[in-house]
Amino acid sequence: MQALQPVNKQERLLSLDVIRGFSLLGIFIINMISFHSPFLYVDHYSWWSSPADQQLFPWIDILVQSSFYPLFAMLFGYGLAMQQERSVEKGVNFYPLAVRRLLVLLLIGCVHAFLIWSGDILINYALFGLILLGFMKMSGKALLWTGSLLFLLPQMFFSILLLLVSITDPAGTAFYSDLTNITNSLEAYSSGSFTEIFLQRFEDWYNVNGPGNIIYLMLSILPMLMIGAGAGKLKVLERIPEHKKFWMVMLAIFASAGLILKSLPFTTHANIASAYIQDMLGAPFLSVSYAILLALLLINRKISTVLKPLAAAGRMSLTNYLAQSIIGTLIFYNYGLGLYGEVTLVTGTWLAAAIFLIGVILSELWLSKFRQGPMEKLWRVHTYKKEGAETSK
């Protein structure tokens, strides 16, 4: 029996890393809005005052908002399936290793959520990843179908229910801004002490991740993990070049469905019902279309060369994700530059793109010297209980 070691460079899947790197850009663009404004508590469709922000927001809302978290979750499941396959090949018991890996991620997520930024996704990935382990003995097709049904059936039910409510009681599904929490956020993050920022950060986290939202979170994240794990077992990304025409048709279907559903608040009426359908149904469809598009583009060698730097960011996704939060909060919170509430949507978006580009360059430089990013190394050292060679030389 061989000892299971971290994935080496030769074993990595380029398309998986490129898609993961691309996802980091989309996630950062959305996270940046929460770094500099009380995005969690505002009516997104009436909050922006400048003409430039009003013109930019629909593009972000349709193409970016909620479209990259499902993709990142699917990639997480895909990676877990690849790790399971490697453990079987090497005759290693996958489950103790996977549990250890997820528990370490849970600890990292807790530090991130409570000491850096409330919008953490790592805690949920770790917790629902532990639930996913109970399904990992299923076949790829079974995981794919189970995840798809677990996603579609509840979301279709809630979407229809909200549509009916919006027709019978329009005021009940109207957006509003939570002025109390907006004021509290502005005061805490722009001028509060570290303790006041911590308390506001915890409240923000609890409002999203508290007991009242557990079922909602499970139905939005666990199915994506299952779909990704099923796709990983079936080696979907590896096989896309073999069936280009089929996947081009699938790209057209998923992209069309995603764009139509994501545009609902702008083509119909912006309320809780249309926004729910946009985020919970449209976003995952658009997520899949992004993955298919990138996988198809990577078949072309010239395009693959252009997109390859994204793979470096993807290989260091944990490091980059945490670094983005640290940089974002240092720019906007009072213990940093204190610019919370002072930046427009346009400025914040350009800032996110610039920081992401710098992160890609630094990831390339780092990986030219080392096998993995610093946080990836910390994660894997505690997972595998031993250090591998530090440098790639």
Kindly tell me the sign of the dihedral angle through the C-alpha atoms of 92, 96, 102, 104.
negative
Q: What is the pTM of this model?
A: 0.91
Q: Residues with Cβ < 8 Å from 146, sequence gap 6 or more?
A: 135, 138, 226, 230
How far apart, in whole angstroms, are the C-alpha atoms of residue 295 and residue 162? 35
Give the per-residue pLDDT at 138: 95
Question: Residue 2 domain-assigned?
Answer: no
Give the per-residue pLDDT at 12: 66
Question: 344, 32 in Cβ contact below 8 A?
Answer: no
Question: Phi/psi at 389 (nearest 5 deg)?
Answer: -60, 135
Q: What are the CA-CA distances from residue 242 to residues 19, 232, 249, 294, 330 (Å)?
A: 19, 16, 14, 15, 46
Taking only the tens place, the pLDDT of each residue in 46-105 is: 888 899 999 999 999 999 999 999 999 999 999 999 999 988 888 888 999 999 999 999
Question: Residue 265 domain-assigned?
Answer: yes
Burial of 386 (0-12, 13-18, 19+ CB in 10 A): exposed
Secondary structure of residue 136 in the 3-state scheme: coil
The rounded Cα 347 to chain-centroid distance in angstroms is 22
Considering only the C-alpha atoms of the chain, give the largest distance between any 2 of them, rounded to a whole number of Å. Answer: 66
CA angle at 342 for the pair 204 and 40, rounded to the nearest 5°: 25
Burial of 240 (0-12, 13-18, 19+ CB in 10 A): buried
* Domain membership of residue 129 as a residue range: 9-384
Question: Residue 311 domain-assigned?
Answer: yes
Question: Residue 291 domain-assigned?
Answer: yes
- Structure-token pair, residue 295: 């996988």
| Banded model confidence at residue 265, pLDDT cuts 50, 70, 90 | very high
Question: Residue 151 domain-assigned?
Answer: yes
For residue 391, list its beta bridge partners: 370
Question: Residue 393 domain-assigned?
Answer: no
Taking only the tens place, the pLDDT of each residue in 92-144 is: 889 999 999 999 999 999 999 999 999 999 999 999 999 999 999 999 999 99
How many domains does the structure of the chain reveal?
1
Cα distance from N-terminal residue to C-terminal residue, the chain: 27
Question: 298, 18 in Cβ contact below 8 A?
Answer: yes
Region 201-211: mean pLDDT is 95
Question: 255, 67 in Cβ contact below 8 A?
Answer: no
Region 304-308: mean pLDDT is 93
Question: Residue 175 domain-assigned?
Answer: yes
Residues composing the chain: 393
How far apart, in whole angstroms, are the C-alpha atoms of residue 57 and residue 355? 20
| Banded model confidence at residue 147, pLDDT cuts 50, 70, 90 | very high
